[in-house]
Structure formats: structure tokens, C-alpha cells
Structure 1
């Protein structure tokens, strides 16, 4: 195995070798690097460092998907938001919820071990957007996860025993963790949540063997630093820019790509200027946290559009040349393609059905072209009337990750078509378990046709929509595509569905009994292809949007695994 820059991987290689020597089943660095091409295992969040969420498996096809049936179902023993992605390593499935980490036989659903997560009794009072866990990282016989009270934990894969646990930040200051960690460049990387509480975002690099914090990259620029002059005095140290979703990694460039979230407060006139590095894509060296380049999607971020949505890595033909790119369907309604070697904008095209905050993205500067409404919002700290903004703060697409089919050169993503009424106001930082937004929310607005979301196929080279499948409520699950021509996702009403990737026609569905916000995976065992997804409804959209179709969705939390009926 050839690994570019061997030195930066020495700590992780030593960890893997130690696990092998100790008799534990240990995946290697090659397993992580080749995850997208190895259908027997799923060793990384996103099914590969580039998070394409695409599988080469072809046993389940558009012709036979109607024969797909449940093989087993496993209760998670809680009714919180089940938004996690399992891992499948050496014949064992590993699942994280906010209350447990467990090892499961992937064919039978039998639990091998189950380790509880101890949380403080008052944790619910400090949460922005629900209590959940999005997944795990794994290497060398060790599992790594985060907890909602802002800790990072290492667990022995063989028996579930905790190896180490470290505190990333203080949850009583508004910091939380829900993401899967990322192993890259010899480090274990995590971000942080809490942008609604006047916190300061960061990315941290940890020694995966000991849990020692090696570096911290803060995501707001302080006075005297590059970008420090883009803030009003005294605002940057509590200015948000949370890093609440898992980044991607290019081992050849040795760059990690991580998105940052909204400014704190949301009111842009309170913060002033572009407020770097909120709502941006950051390229950093995983060994040191060095910032190599940045691209800010929404300077000043006037509407909580974030830049945290997944940064999917691909190679696309740009001007006739194969180009390393990263892609993001941003909450601001535009689909971005960047050159990931230098952060230069290649294209930014509108994918959301309705956008009224900007007329487009200037190709020369990469900045949005503000409408008069947004121009006024940027300089008016105390507004006198409500405005209707499209997309809403839910975005044209939220965190639920998209899939990219490299053979068809198509992205498949779940989009949202909802507006909001807001009025920005002056607000001092309240402190404690209280949001700091600087606005009054007048409610959310449905489109005239009542279709609040779609599953959309998007051509990232042409920058245009290929097809869409509208739905009354937005799909809030991740998307999985396969080489056989299928796209899988789930609805907040509980339906797990399969679509034809060529036409968008729905081919199959199964009612799981509770809303789906989990991230589906597919894998192969003994010549049989399986698909696994978590079900369990408690999304922030369902809680806040007033969507009538989600009022009576049952609570629940479980793991479903499917295969073709023999």
C-alpha cells in the first residue's frame, strides 16, 4: 500500500498494528481510503472520505427492487431523532445513538454488546436542535464517537469498553457534539455545535491513541488575525461559526474540508461585515489545523444559511480537463462547485425552487448579488416590519447528505421549499441555555402547490436539474445511490423508498413506523446485498415548521435491514 506522506499517518498505523497484535479485528488505513470501492464493509461516515454515499453493488436493481423485504429490526430503546449512519467492519455492524453504542450481527440483528452513554440530567435544557448522534469513526480495533454533552470517546470494538473520554467544551456554555469524528492525516478530528448560543466555533485535532488534544482551529477571526477586521469590535469571540457536520478528506492533497455555520447572533447588522469565517468551506491541514484556503458561501450570513452541509469530493470534467472539485448544495439555495486544490469558484447555480434574497452569485468575486431586501437587512439592526425570505433558515437543503453517482455524474439530494417571515431586532447576549438570534420569527411559509420538498437529481457539470420528485413534506434522510441505477431515501412520515436514478420514478417503499432521518448504507455478505437505515422521528423541521402532515407521526427508534426476498 502506498500512502502519500507516510509520516503523518504513523500514529494511526501504530494504533492499527497494536490492535492486530492484541488479537482484535482491525481495519487498516487502506480500508478507510478504499471504503467507496469495498462493498463488503462500510468503514467511514459517508461511505468514503469523499462522502459520495454511492455503492458499486448491483444485485438490487430497478427490475427487482419490489422484492425488497425487511430481514430484521432492532429497537434503539429510545424515541429521539435516529439520524445516525452505521458502520460495517469485518462482519460486525456498529451503531451509535445518543444513549448507546452497540455492536450488532448484521445478518440476524442480534446485539453483541451495548455500551450506554452517561449524560447529565439537565442536558436537554442546553440543546438547540434535538438530541441525537450522527455516527462513528473506526480504525485499528477502536471506535470513536462524540456525545451530546460535548465529549469525545474511544471504545474498544471487541467488547465495547471505553478506552478514553475527553471533554471538548462545556455544554453549559451552549457547546454540544452530534457528529461522527473524522480520521485524517494521523489525527482524529471533531468540530462543535452551538451557534445559536453565542459560542465560538472550532475544529479540534486529537491523538487517536490517547485522546490528547493536539491543536484547535477556531473558526472566527479575532482582531489582528487575517479576517479579524470583518467583525464589529467585541463580537468575534462569541460569533458562532459552528462546525457541526463531519468534514471530508483528500489524502493526495492532504487537505480536510470542513464547513462552518451561522454567525451568532443571526442578525448580521449586530455582527457587522462578512464575519469571517462563518458560513464557509475551510481547507485545513489535518496534522496541524493550518488554514490553507477558505471560501465564504454567504458573507455575513443574513439568514442562518450556514456552510456546514456536506462537502462532497469528486473529479469532474471542467473545460475539458479532469478537475478535483468539492460540491455543496448550500442552504442559501445555490449549488456550488469549487476547485478543491485552491478554493476557487467554478460554478454556483440556483437549485432551490424560490430564492428572493439574492439574484445570483457573481462568478468573478464568488459573492452573492443581494436583492434590495438583503441589502437593507445587512445594515438595519432594529427592523420595523416582517420580511418574507426564501429559502427559510431550513435552507434549500439542510444537513441530510446527498449522494453522487460518478458513472452517471449525477447528484441526488433532498431539497426544501419553505419560506419564513422574520424581523431583526437588537438583542443583548442572554447567556445560559437561551438562544441568541436577534430576531422575531413570524412563522414559516408553504409554497402555493403545497409541495414542501423534493428528491432532486442534479447535473453538477451543467449546473441544472435533471429530474425531481416532489413531496408534501421535505425528505429529511440521507440519500444512497447504487451502480445498478437506484436511489434510496426516507420520508419524515416513515416511508423508506427506492427511486429509478434515470427518471426519478418511485419503484418501492416500506413503512418503518416512524419518521426517517437516518443515513442509509448498503453492503454485501456471502453474496447477498443488504440495505440498512435507522428510523426514528424527532426532527427540528417537524418541531418548528408547523407541517400538518407530520403532526401524528409516531415516535420511535430502530434499525431496519432489508434484502431481496429469496
Structure 2
């Protein structure tokens, strides 16, 4: 079903967005191809941000989690929800068109973890998005008309597509989610004009393939390896970096071995899907630590030289810096205070140094008593993306301070049901009450420059600007601005529901705007048991702000 409102304004030309944001637009997921989420805009700064006020607000008519990042191209804002795609006049908030998705009733029962969509790709006058029933669709940017649809996999087996696709060297690339359901992960490349599948790269290696001997028997067939967050493209090297998620089942004793390529980053050629190099953050990954968190590329001063790197704050609690041409491990430092699963990372081998508890968990098909593990499966940082400021060479992230009791049980596969092989009953909370921190982190040393504690952890993305501002959101609904140098809070606005999306900033006609979506939901809401969330209203909306006229 499609609702369209046309006006004279729609006669504007819908030019194809460039690879990088131009003229103040936000044309790609992550604000740029390196997923740095940093803007050069300076009109709103630390001195005047207190004058920032709402310009418009639009209801999204949805009670699901609003985890998306909007795009702004030629004066039009595009954004997805779990079940629709919208085009909005960016200056007024007036809806221009809306294209809805009609899901079968059983779709919502086989989606983990939250009914949501994270973003769009734009290329050649088309918008691309994934769907909860594991399809990839293309829409006309002018009208919202669906142009083609490609099936990724069978949603009834637990597959879904919630991440933004990526266009790299003319190829549309999509990942897949569903690692908790006994699925087999992959990324796939498509012709953006026709939807024809060009290649498919599975992320659990089969016998006879490189890494195939890291799986016992046929466990790779239901071995997980989801690719549910968006990859990053380096046009200079013509490499796409894509994170690979957890093994299936979580019970690692059932699939002894490293289990390539779970818990890894793979660097692939966008034209062919060829794996050029890989690095495995968490071999065998019993704890759902994944390798899917955003991969940020930067030119980082290190050891007296400037290195071309790709960085990740992994859910396992370590911050990794890799050479993005070769995959060489350059740094691996803890960025959270409490890590009990590993003693550290061996820089010679690149492998974690297991604690005795982790050794026991890896070897035990079943356990009589649970072992407390930190961080929890939510990670030291969940999927909510960080920002990298190239002037300070710091990253800014919402981090977590949560553990969980881990007890293995015999795994049992049932189509469309969780396939974990572990008993999940609760989470473990910190004694000081601070379940999360907004942190400024030095990626070279791993040291925290400043931090802001939060009793209810934040799951919003982080945005920084060249004027020294940092924007993020709280589960309790506040949209927040900080001084990125000190962590001092400068401004806040209550949006009416929890923020779990990604803020953006953009410019039109010489005026800078900041946009964020609001609408509580997602993995913490579903699995934390946090009673305080009951008082946070649901309901999705978009808020756009600018400086109040003097």
C-alpha cells in the first residue's frame, strides 16, 4: 500500500547521490563511506547550541523501535521504519510519499532482536532497503514505487534483513540477520538496476573451502555467522569490510574449533565477493560477542607514522585497530573496566588469552552451574554506532557495563526457533549502578579520556561535529548535546520516547539542522527485565532542530 502527496515542490530533480555527502546532504549510511559519523558543519557550536529548538516533528505511526539513520538528499529526507519507507520535505517535515510493506502475520515471530530497520542505501535515483521477511527491495526516489524485489533467504527459517545495504563500486551489497535461529550467514552482491544476484559469500566455511577445517562435521550448515550490520567501503583499496556475527548454537562445545568466519571482519572485493583477508576477533565465540559492530576506517597517527586502519569496538570488550590493506593487528586494548572471559589479546597470534572459566565453557556441552561472564552478550558496546573525530583522533561511544550468568545446555534445533544451547535467565548488574557510559576513547591506547555514567544504558548512535559538539540520545527520551572535548552536557530536549536511532546533521540554504528519530525498543528493552523501561512511552517520531532566530 502506498500513500503519496504531490505538490509543486516535487518538480525538483532527484539527482543520484554522490558517494560522499555533498552540499550539506547526508547521502550514505554512517555520514560517509568510512562510517565515521563526523560532520564538518560548524554553524551550531558549543557556544550557541543552547539556542537549538525543534523546527518540525513528524509521527511515524509505529510503536516499534526506531533504530534508523535518515538520509537527506536534495532537500528530501528518506527514512525507513520496520514496515514502511517515507520521503519527507526536509525543511517542513511534510510527508511526500510513504510505501508500506505488507508482511505475512508469522514474520514478526521469527525476528531477533526487535521489530526495526536501521537504514537505506541510495544510488542512481533509487533507494534500497532490507525487509523483515528477508528480501531486498528497490524504490524510485521520486515516487516511492517499488522497482524490483530480490529474495535473500526464507524468513521462516529465521532470516531477516534489518541493516542498511551498501553500494560499493557499482554493486549493491546486503547482509543478513538470524544467527540465533540455526541459520547460515552470508553477504551477497546485486545489480542495483535489476536486482540480479551477482555473487554470494557464505560466512561459515564449508569443507574444501579456506577455513572449512575449522568446523566439525556439518555444523557449518547451521553455524550462524550473521552479517546484520552494514559494511564499510574503502574506494582507494576497493575493499569492503564486513563484520560477521555469532556462531550457532552459542554452545561452543557443539562446534569445537575456530569456526571461520564467525566473530570476524572479512575484507572482500565488491565486484566478486572474494575474501582478500580476514581477522577473527573471537574464535569459537561462545558468548554472542559477534564481529558485526561498525567498522570505521581512518588514517591514524601511530608509532610515529600515519597508518591506514579499520577500527572496531567489539562486543567482547576490546578495541581493535587493524591495517586495512592487510588485516594486520596493530592494537587490541580493553575499552571497558570489567572483562572476565579473557586475560587479554596475544599480539603475536592475535588470539584472546582465555581465562579458566572460558576454557571450561568452551569444553562443556552441558554445565550444572552457571558462570558469571563479563561483558554479557549485549557486549561492552552493542550495535549503536560510535563516532570518530579526525581532528582529535578520538572515538566516542555509548558503552555497557553488564554481565550475565552463562550455563550451557544440550542444543536442540527447531525451524524458526532460537538455537542457543545455553540457558539465558537474567543479566548481572554492576555494584555501582551505572549500567552504561558515554566515553571518549583513544583508539591507539584504549584509554578513556572522559566518561559520563548512566544508570539506564544508552543504545543511541553518536554524532560529532567539527565545532566540538557530540550528539546522542537516551533510553529515557532525552536528545543530548555534549562538549566533545570535556564530556560536559550543554543541552537536552525530551522527545517523548526512548532514542535508539542515529542522529544526523545536514545543511540546506545556509542553515544547519540536526535530526534524530525517537521510539524506544530493541534488544535491551526485550531482554533486560529493566523495570524502569515500563514508564517510557512507545511511539515513533522524527525530530529536526536548528538554531532559534536571534
**The TM-score by the shorter chain falls in which range?**
over 0.9
Give the alignment partner of residue 291 of structure 1, picking from 263, 275, 279: 275
Preserved CA contact (<8 Å) 2:336 2:401: yes
1:214 pairs with 2:206: no
Distance across 1 between alignment mates of 2:86 and 2:108: 23
Find the counterpart in structure 2 of residue 495 from structure 1. Answer: 478
Give the alignment partner of residue 55 of structure 1, picking from 18, 26, 39: 39
1:301 pairs with 2:285: yes
1:189 pairs with 2:173: yes
Q: Deviations over 1:59-105 (max 9, x none)?
A: 11111111111111101111100000010111111111112111111
Q: Deviations over 1:287-343 (max 9, x none)?
A: 000000000000000211000000001001122221110010000000000001000
1:363 pairs with 2:334: no
Q: Deviations over 1:423-452 (max 9, x none)?
A: 0011221x2221000011231011001010
CA RMSD, Structure 1 to Structure 2 (Å): 1.1
Give the alignment partner of residue 125 of structure 1, picking from 109, 112, 118: 109
Find the counterpart in structure 2 of residue 563 from structure 1. Answer: 546
1:390 pairs with 2:374: yes
Preserved CA contact (<8 Å) 1:86 1:93: yes
Give the alignment partner of residue 81 of structure 2, picking from 97, 113, 119: 97
Distance across 1 between alignment mates of 2:316 and 2:54: 37
Preserved CA contact (<8 Å) 1:39 1:55: no
Q: Report the CA distance between 1:211 and its aligned residue.
A: 0.2
Distance across 2 between alignment mates of 1:127 and 1:463: 34
Structure 1 residue runs of 5 or longer lacking an equivalent are: 1-21
Give the alignment partner of residue 460 of structure 2, picking from 477, 495, 498: 477
Find the counterpart in structure 2 of residue 330 from structure 1. Answer: 314
Please report the TM-score for the alignment, with normalisation by the length of structure 2: 0.97
Q: Deviations over 1:384-427 (max 9, x none)?
A: 11110000000000000000000111100000000101200112
- Any idea what SS the aligned residue of 2:434 has? coil
Distance across 2 between alignment mates of 1:551 and 1:467: 31
Q: Deviations over 1:9-68 (max 9, x none)?
A: xxxxxxxxxxxxx9952225xx21x32xx3510000000110000000111111111111
Distance across 2 between alignment mates of 1:140 and 1:442: 48
Give the alignment partner of residue 303 of structure 2, picking from 305, 319, 326: 319
Give the alignment partner of residue 415 of structure 2, picking from 432, 439, 445: 432
Find the counterpart in structure 2 of residue 444 from structure 1. Answer: 427
1:462 pairs with 2:451: no
Q: Report the CA distance between 1:461 and its aligned residue.
A: 2.3
Preserved CA contact (<8 Å) 2:114 2:526: no
Distance across 1 between alignment mates of 2:79 and 2:407: 41
- Any idea what SS the aligned residue of 1:294 has? strand
1:26 pairs with 2:26: no
Preserved CA contact (<8 Å) 1:26 1:139: no
Deviant stretches of 4+, over 6 Å: none
Distance across 1 between alignment mates of 2:504 and 2:274: 33
Distance across 2 between alignment mates of 1:92 and 1:234: 49
Q: Report the CA distance between 1:175 and its aligned residue.
A: 0.5
Distance across 2 between alignment mates of 1:231 and 1:525: 53
- Any idea what SS the aligned residue of 1:424 has? coil
Distance across 1 between alignment mates of 2:425 and 2:25: 47
Q: Report the CA distance between 1:551 and its aligned residue.
A: 2.3
Structural mapping, 1:519-538, within 5 Å: 519-538=502-521
Distance across 2 between alignment mates of 1:330 and 1:550: 26
Distance across 2 between alignment mates of 1:177 and 1:399: 15
Give the alignment partner of residue 58 of structure 2, picking from 56, 70, 74: 74
Please report the TM-score for the alignment, with normalisation by the length of structure 1: 0.94
1:45 pairs with 2:29: yes
- Any idea what SS the aligned residue of 1:441 has? coil
Give the alignment partner of residue 527 of structure 2, picking from 544, 556, 561: 544
Find the counterpart in structure 2 of residue 17 from structure 1. Answer: none
Find the counterpart in structure 2 of residue 12 from structure 1. Answer: none
- Any idea what SS the aligned residue of 1:444 has? coil
- Any idea what SS the aligned residue of 1:236 has? helix
Q: Report the CA distance between 1:143 and its aligned residue.
A: 0.7
